[in-house]
Structure 1
Amino acid sequence: MLFLWALQRIGVEDHILLGFLITAVSVLTIPLVLAAVRDSVGEEAARRYLPVLVLAPYAIWTAVSLDGLVAVLGAAAIVSGLRASRRRVRGWAATGWAGLAGLLVGVAALFSYSAPWLGLSLVCVYFARRRASLNVLSGVGALLPVLGTKLLGFGWSDGLVAAETDYAARVAPYRSVLWWSAISVVVVLLAAGPPLYASARKLRNTAMWPFLVGAGAAVVFSIAAGLARGGVEHAWLPFFPWLTVAAVAPERPGGEPPPAPLLLTGIGALVAVIVEGVLVTPW
């Protein structure tokens, strides 16, 4: 709300202009995710993953939701964590990058209550690279925005409870948990597209598994807890890019990365066009 208020104060009031601005910022997720892939498994894999990101079906929801900004903050946090945990990065440089990673997660948490799940990816990255001590630095960084807003009068945990109470009173009684959870699973399949299957099948063959842990845990928890009852097509924008990163993983550990899955990506892009052409969306 403060972000939209700030835009209004500087003169951005036209809805079309606002949509273009949000989209322009949200697509920064693409180079950030590619930077994370390159840092983890090399530039060749990142190049082959590019079409999967650019033509992802969930792009159709980017312009209509502020969750695209959460995706940018989360991706930047993961990239910072990867920089902090590089083998040759030590001392103040590692401290700064790890603190920045946590700070970005904390700011993202002020935009979305589901954003802290991406912090789980950071934890997995640090343990996978045997730099577990960086968790402390990132944890402190994540607390700074939350504590700062607390001093200004907004309690993050109080807001979370209030949001859950509002959800329980306004949404939960009128939407069947089984029916809407099933719909949410279908949304994931449509939004991530066919590369999701390739990613899930080869997850254990890649060093990018920490990215899928945080994103996958967020999606699974939301569905299992009965919280996924509408709106997930944009609420999960911060997680969709990480669910398909293993699509360019080798068929066996340590093998050569496969070619870009252009056929699967093309099918996903076609699905996006069909969804946008068939469904009558409120925007």
Structure 2
Amino acid sequence: MTAPQTSYTDRVEALAPLRRRHDVLRDIAIWLILLVATLTLASVAVSTSEVIGPATLPWWPAQNLSLHVTAGMVVAPLTAVAVLAAASRPAAARMSWNTLLVVSYLASITWSAALHTNVEPTTMSTATPGARSAIALLVSFTGSEAGLAITVIALSCLAVPLTLVAVKSVSGPVAARALAPLLILGPWAAWATLGIDGIAAAACAAVLACGAVVSERKVKRADAFWGAAAAGGLLGIAALLSYGAAWFAVSLLCLYFARRRPTQILVSAAAALAVLGLAAAAGSSWPYGLVDTYNAAIGEIAAHPGQLWWLALMPALVCVACGPAIVESLRRFGTSTAWPLMIGPLLALMIAPLSGSNPERPEYGWIALCPWLIVAATAGTKRGKAVRVPLMTAATGACAAVILMYSG
């Protein structure tokens, strides 16, 4: 007889939580280093460029040394604590899917409103004609600054439940539920409610949510056709609100390609072109507007070379605004089931010009990228696999957002 041996499986299972905790702490440390590097880079830009300063950096910590306590400074920490406490309870896992979407939406509204409500009633010179028309319509419809802020926040926060719908379709309900705290407490919420950019982000989320749902295997024939047409129509509307939304067409294409839906590719493309064609017939040509905006940006950079700082600042700011979850998400990109949702935003981050072309205020079109850059943080390689809710990661990002709000 031999002595009983200890199972290696037991040892591995015992070490797994420690290993996961070590990975989480490493990701948080990497993100904090990136945060410090971004603030340092911004300090150098402020001291060496006349067009980079507190007026163009609303998140800049040193722009106001006096502390004015506002209601948001109290509501934001309480909201973060409530979301994290609720997500850590077993009842959160038993919550119905529709209830989760509603609760996530309401919590996102509270978080966004607490962080920032100073909505700009104007658009930049580089905005699309559709964005100018949309903000003018909202201003006339709401009739007051408070009404405009509430409307923009309510529309912008639709990006949270729409992103959850897309992740559930692509990576399963477990990954979507685990992602909810990260989306609700995203640091990018401080920028999402500054104007039309947050609404454009919600439109981009609607494109991928619709495309993901209608391309599922159970959706066939007429439902698949009209669903793809709806996704294409939403893509056209999103492009009319933001030139950067065109990059989400790459994600939609990859999503259809991965699910072997060639017909839906053609239908969505035709629907998107039809929307842009109708806009052109009404006197708003999207391609000509894009060319004019590009030429204007080049001219602005030639007149103010200090704008080149935004080429380095904006990608760094995107990563900072995503929170620590972006580190794990980018590491899992190659093996995650959520890669079709990430490919378009990643290309936009690496290729699209992200520099602000207005010396007075930078562009915030990159807000639409943030939710999609972190979706792989909980989307594993197998659907239905157990996933730990990244509470520590969500808490770190929320704390950083609150600290920047207090110091800004």
CA RMSD of aligned residues (A): 1.9
Distance 1:255 1:3 in 2: 41
Amino acid at match of 2:397: G
Instruction: Work out which of the residue numbers 263, 271, 283 in structure 2 matches 1:141.
Output: 271
Distance 1:232 1:203 in 2: 29
Distance 2:190 2:377 in 1: 21
Identity of aligned residues (%): 34
Aligned residue pairs, count:
274
Distance 2:344 2:307 in 1: 23
2:156 is matched with 26
Deviation, 1:26, is 0.7
Amino acid at match of 1:264: T
2:167 is matched with 37
2:137 is matched with 6
Distance 1:269 1:233 in 2: 23
Report if the CA contact (8 A) 1:187-1:232 is conserved. no
**CA pair 202-257 structure 1, distance change in 2 beyond 3 A:** farther
Distance 1:3 1:276 in 2: 28
Matched position secondary structure for 1:22: helix
Q: Deviations for 1:219-268, whole angstroms, at most 9, x for unmatched residues? A: 1112xxx5424767721111110000011133x65683431111111111
Distance 1:166 1:178 in 2: 14
Matched position secondary structure for 1:206: coil
Q: Does 1:125 align with 2:255?
A: yes
Report if the CA contact (8 A) 1:188-1:233 is conserved. no
Instruction: Work out which of the residue numbers 397, 400, 403 in structure 2 matches 1:268.
Output: 397
**Which structure 2 residues correspond to residues 28-177 of structure 1 after superposition, within 5 A?**
28-176=158-306
Report if the CA contact (8 A) 2:174-2:384 is conserved. no
1:228 is matched with 355
Structure 1 unmatched runs, 5+:
none
**CA pair 235-175 structure 1, distance change in 2 beyond 3 A:** farther
Amino acid at match of 1:111: L
Matched position secondary structure for 2:262: coil
Matched position secondary structure for 2:368: coil
Distance 1:179 1:257 in 2: 43
**CA pair 25-125 structure 1, distance change in 2 beyond 3 A:** same
TM-score, scaled relative to structure 1: 0.90
Report if the CA contact (8 A) 1:34-1:46 is conserved. yes
Amino acid at match of 1:5: A
TM-score, scaled relative to structure 2: 0.64
Report if the CA contact (8 A) 2:149-2:193 is conserved. yes
Report if the CA contact (8 A) 2:301-2:308 is conserved. no
**CA pair 232-259 structure 1, distance change in 2 beyond 3 A:** farther
Deviation, 1:33, is 0.4
Distance 2:297 2:375 in 1: 32
Bigger shift: 105-114 or 176-185? 176-185
Q: Deviations for 1:130-172, whole angstroms, at most 9, x for unmatched residues? A: 1122110000110122100111111111111111122122245
Report if the CA contact (8 A) 2:208-2:231 is conserved. yes
Report if the CA contact (8 A) 1:205-1:253 is conserved. no
Distance 1:153 1:178 in 2: 33
Report if the CA contact (8 A) 2:174-2:387 is conserved. no
Amino acid at match of 1:238: A
